[in-house]
Structure 1
Amino acid sequence: MIAINIMISIFVIIVLQFAGMYIFSLLTPYNDFDELKQGNVAVGLAMGGKFLSTAIVLGISAYTNTSIWHMALWFAVGYVCLMMTYLLFDWVTPRMKLSEQLQEGNVAVGVLLCFLYIGMSFAISSLII
């Protein structure tokens, strides 16, 4: 029975991680994977930051909840906060449209977003506990 619960939990975690990445990719006007195929390092860094930050929030949600439903709920709350971070940061930097900078390959913006996502995921995760 324990093995089945673990397998179900792992399946749910994988589904939530990839669903989260898909939803996150809808925030940008370009196709993340097309940019990666072209070797756009800036997009790769930002996308890696999204993946890691999503995994941090998901991991803390899984660790602190005994119910899959509660885990998914807290992940959703944390995930919305991560998406709002991107939108808010884009809004407070009107002279630098983030999606355009990433698409142009601005590695500095990619690094900044990577660490912004990761940092915010730790801060957000501290609220989940």
Structure 2
Amino acid sequence: MDQFWENEYIQIAANYSVVILCLVVFLAIFEMVTKYKNWEEIKKGNVAVAMATGGKILGVANIFRCTIEQNNSLLSMIGWGIYGFLLLIIGYFIFEF
């Protein structure tokens, strides 16, 4: 089984799956803390909200890019990703204030 997890393609697929799942969860958290409904505003054609949401996606993706580069295990990648997201959301509240 160790040989299975050491395969580079399996590691890439595992990292990708975990990052997509975390991205969905983190965007749901962003949806709860914003004053507006992101996806409803995007459907209405609100370009500013679409750009802000794109920035949030880019921020989370960048956090996970760094965690994938620095960590070898999925659990440590998720842990540091959550920590990075907490810092990102604190920064969001600071600039929103």
TM-score of the aligned structures, taking structure 1 as reference length: 0.66
1:34 is matched with: 40
Match of 2:87 among 81, 88, 91: 81
Give the unaligned 5+ runs of structure 2: none
For the pair 1:55 / 2:61, whether they are aligned, the reply is yes
Say if 1:17 and 1:58, in contact at 8 Å, map to a contact too. Answer: no
Tell me how far 1:11 sits from its aligned partner.
1.0
| Greater relative CO, 1 or 2 (CA 8 Å, sep 6+) | 1
Q: Structure 1 residue runs of 4+, over 6 Å off?
A: none
For the pair 1:19 / 2:19, whether they are aligned, the reply is no
1:104-115 alignment to 2 at 5 Å?
A: none
**2:66 partner letter:** I
Say if 1:21 and 1:51, in contact at 8 Å, map to a contact too. Answer: yes
**2:69 partner letter:** Y
Whole-angstrom CA distance in 1 between matches of 2:47 and 2:12: 36
1:6 is matched with: 12
**1:76 partner letter:** I
Tell me how far 1:88 sits from its aligned partner.
1.2
* Partner secondary structure for residue 39 of structure 1: coil
Aligned-pair identity (%): 32
Whole-angstrom CA distance in 2 between matches of 1:44 and 1:5: 32
* Partner secondary structure for residue 29 of structure 1: coil
Aligned alpha-carbon RMSD (Å): 1.2
TM-score of the aligned structures, taking structure 2 as reference length: 0.85
Tell me how far 1:25 sits from its aligned partner.
1.6
1:109 is matched with: none
1:101 is matched with: none
